[in-house]
Amino acid sequence: MAGERGPRRCAWALRQLDCFLDGTIEPSALDAFVAHARNCASCAATLAAAQRAREALGNLPRLTDDQLPARINAAVARVAENDTRTVQRSLARLPRAKPSPGHREALRASVAAQASARAGMCRTFGDRVEALLDGDLPAGLTLALERHAQGCPVCAHTLATAKTGRAALAGAPRLAPAVASRQRIRDAIERIAAGRRRTRRQVAWVGAAVAACLAVVAGLYGSGQWVQPLELIPHSVVADVPASVAESQPVAVAPAEPAPATPPQVEMRVAARPASPPEPSRRAPGPTPREPLWTSRPADDAPAVAANLEGPVDTYVAPPRETIRVASTLPPAADAVGESAAFSGHAEPTSIASAHNVTLAL
Amino acid sequence: MALECLVTMGPRSVSTRSETHVLADAAAHGDTVAFDRLVAEYHERVLNVAYRMVSRREDAEDICQEVFVKAFTALPRLRDRSQFGSWLLRITANCARDALRRRRRRKDDLDLDEIGPVPSDDDHARETERDDASRVVQRLLMGLPERHRIVLVLRDIEGLSYEEMAQALSCTVSSVKNRLHRARKLFRERLEPYVKADEV
Ligand SMILES: [Zn+2]
Ligand SMILES: [Zn+2]
């Protein structure tokens, strides 16, 4: 036990100090006290200071003058100061209290929790700032986020950026449609509409003409005056009729459907006609459409365009440009219009503007 | 019935859905006057959506023409004609996408420096600061993936509702919201360096 060191031992030694100086220390403690004071510099210093203080007090002159209280006070102050320093020094040398591993872990967790709460709030803010601007959040969360932004420069900047972005998009300058571009659209639409009307008339006319021809042919055939008017009948129709049939059943070849009264029906029938010819026996000499009838109808490319228009934006695959063009750019107006004008015999509105006025007047 | 509507409607008026429906019905039956009214109604919006998607005025005007021609051609096959507006924007988005693809094929990709201020008819109203800001906005938009750009354009520039957007983009409202969320986040992150820290 002798010479034992450590903070507990120092505390014990300091408690024995007065008894030692008074000579009332327990004999059992004396050796241990001395041994510690020899080995412990700070207790030795404290002991020395205490001894000097005792001596100073003991040597005080037996004065009765007025200075006595002041002298005593000064002497006590000196000792006290000395002791305080000594004690402070010895306390500074005490080993630091080490927190237990559990305590350290708890401390670390608490610091991390604070940091992550802050970071979590920042993350929440980043996620919700648009909803915050839209006013879509519950009141409590709105308040919490607003408060957070007031104390967090990062989130304050996020909020400012979001607001600036919204304002910039909403206030983005707008293009005004040019008059020329509007007119271009008008012309294109009018061309398409004219093309449709023309097609209907052409189909009706061709149907009527072919029917009339066949009626003539049938008439001639029936009366025995067959002169082979090949230039009036589509070549394929005549060529495909077996000679025997043509000889023996002339009337059956010409059912001569009357020209349909409603052009749209004719148009549908023509458009729906299969590309491969029907059975020869059922083949009646119907209208054989000429090239322009097929190309000017958008029906052929309808599925492609429809897919284009109905499909979701993301999965949409661009159809071949050529397909679109069939619908949007019609056959050159010059020859087709000449033809149809000859057939129809009445003028059609040349621009939307004129049609416009007429309709509004109604 | 379409005619009453045409007469009462001013050229600048915003059609209600039912008016649009009536006009679209008439146009589907070949009424070019009714269709012209629809063009008047939607031309500006189609032009601006197209411009925001492709960033070149000439290309945007070509897209406009393509959109209206396709719409007139396909209108007879549109079942719910009250949705004409959203349908038109869907065609616009598809046409813009085609235009961008053609551009990529031609190796004619847009140079971001090419983006100038939006041409304005009123020169006196132009301010360089505003021009700079609008240029930055357009460059940032062009930097976004198309699927994100279109939602920002439709929502934050054109002000469409979620439902209209869902119709125009052929998806659900919730997927519109998701896309918009991501688009805005991307846009904000890229805008951040341009916004001064003390600007609130
Ligand atoms: Zn000691
Ligand atoms: Zn924050």
DSSP calls for A216-244: HHHHHHHTT-----GGGS-HHHHHHS-HH
| DSSP class of A285 | -
Alpha-carbon gap, residue A348 to A105, rounded angstroms = 92
Alpha-carbon gap, residue A298 to A327, rounded angstroms = 5
A249 and A351 in a single domain? The answer is yes
A196 and A263 in a single domain? The answer is no
The verdict on a CB contact (< 8 Å) between A185 and B33 is: no
Q: Which numbered ligand comes closest to the C-alpha of A126?
A: 2
Q: How many domains does chain A have?
A: 4
Nearest to B195 by CA among B117, B150, B136, B112: B136
| Under 8 Å between Cβ of B64 and A326 | no
- B69 CB neighbours in chain A (<8 A) are 185, 188-189, 192, 327-328
- Alpha helix (H) residue ranges in chain A: 7-22, 27-39, 41-58, 68-93, 101-134, 139-151, 153-170, 179-222, 235-240, 243-248, 263-272, 291-295, 302-310, 321-328, 333-344, 352-361
pLDDT on residue A202? 78
Domain ranges of chain B: 8-199
Express each pLDDT in A57-116 by its tens digit.
777 666 556 666 677 677 777 777 777 777 677 667 666 666 667 777 777 777 777 777
pLDDT on residue A63? 54
A134 and A244 in a single domain? The answer is no
pLDDT-derived band at A141 (thresholds 50, 70, 90) equals very high
Alpha-carbon gap, residue A294 to A115, rounded angstroms = 74
**CATH tag, B8-199:** 1.10.1740.10
Mean pLDDT rounded to a whole number for chain A: 65
Q: Phi first, then psi: give them for residue B196, nearest 5 degrees.
A: -70, 145
- A357 CB neighbours in chain B (<8 A) are none
Alpha-carbon gap, residue A268 to A352, rounded angstroms = 26
pLDDT-derived band at A234 (thresholds 50, 70, 90) equals very low
pLDDT on residue A72? 67
% chain A with pLDDT above 90:
20
Express each pLDDT in A277-323 by its tens digit.
333 333 334 343 333 333 333 333 333 444 344 444 433 333 343 33
Alpha-carbon gap, residue B24 to B83, rounded angstroms = 9
A87 falls within a domain: no
The full DSSP string for B1-45 is -HHHHHHH--TTPPPPHHHHHHHHHHHHTT-HHHHHHHHHHHHHH
pLDDT on residue A235? 40
Q: Which two tokens mark A140?
A: 């409590």
- B40 CB neighbours in chain A (<8 A) are 182
Express each pLDDT in B8-61 by its tens digit.
333 334 567 788 999 999 999 999 999 999 999 999 999 999 999 999 999 999
Of B36, B65, B73, the CB nearest to A305: B73
A243 and A356 in a single domain? The answer is yes
Task: ipTM value, please give it.
Answer: 0.85
Neighbour tally for A247: CB within 10 Å: 11
The Cα angle at residue B160 between residues B157 and B163, in degrees rounded to 5: 150
Residue A65, burial from CB neighbour count under 10 angstroms (0-12, 13-18, 19+): exposed
What is the A145 CA–ligand 2 centroid distance (Å)? 9
The verdict on a CB contact (< 8 Å) between B77 and A130 is: no
Count of A-B CB contacts under 8 Å: 179
Name the residue with tokens 């031609």. B106
A35 and A113 in a single domain? The answer is no
The full DSSP string for chain B is -HHHHHHH--TTPPPPHHHHHHHHHHHHTT-HHHHHHHHHHHHHHHHHHHHHHH--HHHHHHHHHHHHHHHHHHGGG-S-GGGHHHHHHHHHHHHHHHHHHHHHHTT-PPPGGG--PPP-S-GGG--HHHHHHHHHHHHHHHHS-HHHHHHHIIIIIT---HHHHHHHHTS-HHHHHHHHHHHHHHHHHHHGGGS-TT--
Asked if pLDDT for residue A256 goes beyond 60, the answer is no
A16 and A129 in a single domain? The answer is no
A313 and A256 in a single domain? The answer is yes
Best mutation site among A159, A161, A358 for testing chain B: the one with the most B CBs within 10 Å? A161
Nearest to A325 by CA among B27, B39, B66: B66
Which segment, A28-32, A109-113, A229-233, B160-164, is predicted with the most confidence on average? B160-164
Asked if pLDDT for residue A208 goes beyond 80, the answer is no
Alpha-carbon gap, residue A305 to B2, rounded angstroms = 27
A269 and A309 in a single domain? The answer is yes
A342 and A305 in a single domain? The answer is yes
The full DSSP string for A73-90 is HHHHHHHHHHHHHHHHHH
Mean pLDDT of A11-18: 88
A249 and A320 in a single domain? The answer is yes
A126 falls within a domain: yes
Mean pLDDT rounded to a whole number for chain B: 85
Neighbour tally for A360: CB within 10 Å: 11
Please give the residue range of the domain that contains residue A297: 234-273+291-361
Asked if pLDDT for residue B154 goes beyond 70, the answer is yes
The verdict on a CB contact (< 8 Å) between B197 and A153 is: yes
pLDDT on residue A24? 87
| Under 8 Å between Cβ of A135 and A167 | no
A63 falls within a domain: no
Asked if pLDDT for residue A38 goes beyond 80, the answer is yes
Name the residue with tokens 């959506």. B49
A31 and A134 in a single domain? The answer is no
The pTM for the full model equals 0.53
More confident residue, A120 or A159: A159
| Under 8 Å between Cβ of B168 and B93 | yes
Alpha-carbon gap, residue A204 to A343, rounded angstroms = 10
Alpha-carbon gap, residue A48 to A353, rounded angstroms = 120
Alpha-carbon gap, residue A9 to A15, rounded angstroms = 10
Asked if pLDDT for residue B2 goes beyond 60, the answer is no
How far is the alpha carbon of B76 from chain A, nearest alpha carbon, in Å? 11
pLDDT-derived band at A243 (thresholds 50, 70, 90) equals very low
Express each pLDDT in B55-90 by its tens digit.
999 999 999 999 999 999 999 999 999 999 999 999
More confident residue, A345 or B160: B160
- B65 CB neighbours in chain A (<8 A) are 181, 184-185, 188
